[in-house]
Amino acid sequence: MGRWICCLCSRVADPLMLLLVLALGCNPSTAATAPSVPHVKPSYSFGRTFLGLDKCNACIGTSICKKFFKEEIRFDTWLSSHLKLPPSSLLSYSGNYTDDAKSWRMVDITRLTSKYQHDRADKRICTSLLKTKTCSLERALRRTQRFQKWLRAKRLTPDLVQGLPSPMLRCPSQRLLDRIVRRYAEVPDAGSIYMDHLTDRDKLRLLYTLAVNSHPILLQIFPDVEGWPFPRYLGSCGRLVVSASTRPLRDFFGAAPEVAADLALQLLAVLGSMATNDLNYFFYFTRVDAGTFGVFSNGHLFIRDASTLGIIDKEEGSQLIDGQQEHKDIFSCLTAGCQSAFVSCDSISEQHSLVMVCQDLLPKLLTGKFLPPVQERVDAFLQRCARGLGDNGGAGEAMAELAQILKPLRSCDSRFAYRYPDCRYSDKF
């Protein structure tokens, strides 16, 4: 305290003020020699624009912003003496995350869509709603009829999400929407199906996220700690989402035969659990590609990108009435390629996701990996599966058939840490 006061002595012009400072114990002769406290410049120069905070509350959330500003989240590729931020044009980044500044773990830092698409959507909001080139996105979206309905609503109901492009909301049930409100992780957990604990700002963020990309919402409402095959949701800041890190399945297309067989078996198990589970939700993919699934460092396969997942409630069914699915407004298209044709909930079969995986992923993972007798059986199955399985049984029977071929090809060793050494003592693995 005394040293801080001394630093003021050389700057005091008022004689009365100088006497007061001297009375507090400052020696003017020491003021010139007192060491100055160095100004510590943050390693990262985080900008609100990079994070997307300048666009809030047309954003995802702010639950993990402190981690960024305290440098407890760092961009892996850009770690250096000067710690520059990565290019904002990228869709995803590798990062490191810590809770104690000693142990670090890998995370994925992603945007819900590209910055280019975000910028296009922002301009469209301003021009279509306020007839200007730039505007306050929050002010513009608050004026919409949909958001005004959200403000008045006590509960998230199917009519409030009608026409949103997310596959998750094409066939919404009240049970699913209640789960979204009850488990929305960007607000303090109230454990309630009513939206009383959501502020106007929270409602806009939830609506915006559901309109742009439902991936982070799925991670929140079906968490990995309860056994769901998704990476852990760690939080959001502006328009960036942070989740546990996985390597995309495409990195394993050239893997050894035993690794390929193991991943294919896990893929079948994931499809099975998404079709049949204790909560009676039927998950199906509207599209799959080499980045849809990912693999953790322990060899465990998860759904890396949940944005293309649709959900049908087998208990309640869809509670949208005829015609509601076609309702369109500014929230119906905040990303590229959102003008997809409407798919009836009743048209989705149990074979739907398996056929897509047989067409697009399993051939790249399993072709040319095994000795001729086994490879011929695998190829024959994939060709039949890709054509739609015909009338020879459902998806469950088909997956069991392929699993029977692949199980003897797996090995039990430390490369498969997620099931080793358990596989030595249990047939389950």
Distance CA 98, CA 81 (A): 19
Strands (E), 57-117: 73-75, 92-98, 104-111
User: Which are the contacts of 236, defined by CB distance < 8 A and separation ≥ 6?
Assistant: 59, 60, 61, 62, 63, 64, 186, 216, 242
DSSP-derived secondary structure letter, 109: E
The structure tokens listed for 191 are: 């454990």
- Hey, which residues does 332 pair with through a beta bridge? none
CA nearest to 407, candidates 384, 377, 383: 377
120 burial type by CB count under 10 A (0-12 exposed, 13-18 middle, 19+ buried): middle
Give residue 81's pLDDT.
Answer: 47
Residue pair 10/31 in contact by the 8 Å Cβ criterion: yes
Distance CA 168, CA 217 (A): 10
Distance CA 348, CA 191 (A): 32
Distance CA 5, CA 22 (A): 9
Give the global pTM: 0.85
Give residue 335's pLDDT.
Answer: 78
Which whole-number Å values give the CA distances from 158 to 26, 163, 261, 317, in the listed order? 70, 10, 41, 12
Which amino acid, one-letter code, is at 231? P
Strands (E), 249-333: 281-285, 293-295, 301-303, 309-313
What does the pLDDT profile of the chain (429 residues) look like in tens digits? 444 334 334 334 444 333 333 333 444 443 343 333 333 344 455 678 889 999 999 999 999 999 988 889 988 755 544 566 788 888 999 999 999 878 999 999 999 999 899 999 999 999 999 999 899 999 999 999 999 999 999 999 999 999 999 999 999 999 999 999 999 999 988 789 999 999 999 999 999 999 999 999 999 999 999 999 999 999 999 999 999 999 999 999 999 999 999 999 999 999 999 999 999 999 999 999 999 999 999 999 999 999 999 999 999 988 876 555 567 899 998 876 666 556 678 888 889 999 999 999 999 999 999 999 999 999 999 999 998 876 556 788 999 999 999 999 999 999 999 999 998 887 666
Give residue 338's pLDDT.
Answer: 62
Give residue 235's pLDDT.
Answer: 97
Characterise 317 by phi-psi region: left (phi > 0), alpha (psi -120 to 50), beta (else). left
CA nearest to 61, candidates 234, 253, 177, 265: 234
Distance CA 410, CA 259 (A): 7
Q: Quick count: other Cβ atoms within 10 Å of Cβ 94?
A: 15
Spell out the domains of the chain, with CATH numbers in brackets.
131-236 (no CATH), 247-321+347-419 (1.10.510)
Residue pair 75/95 in contact by the 8 Å Cβ criterion: yes
Give residue 20's pLDDT.
Answer: 35
CA nearest to 228, candidates 239, 238, 220: 220
Give residue 65's pLDDT.
Answer: 94
Q: Is the dihedral of CA 304, 305, 310, 316 positive or negative?
A: positive
The structure tokens listed for 55 are: 């666009």
Give residue 428's pLDDT.
Answer: 67
Q: Quick count: other Cβ atoms within 10 Å of Cβ 144?
A: 16
φ/ψ (deg, to 5) at 406 = -85, -30
φ/ψ (deg, to 5) at 105 = -135, 155
Q: What angle do CA 326, 332, 337 make, to 5 degrees?
A: 100
Give residue 46's pLDDT.
Answer: 61
Which whole-number Å values give the CA distances from 420 to 248, 251, 416, 425, in the listed order? 22, 22, 6, 10
Give residue 341's pLDDT.
Answer: 54
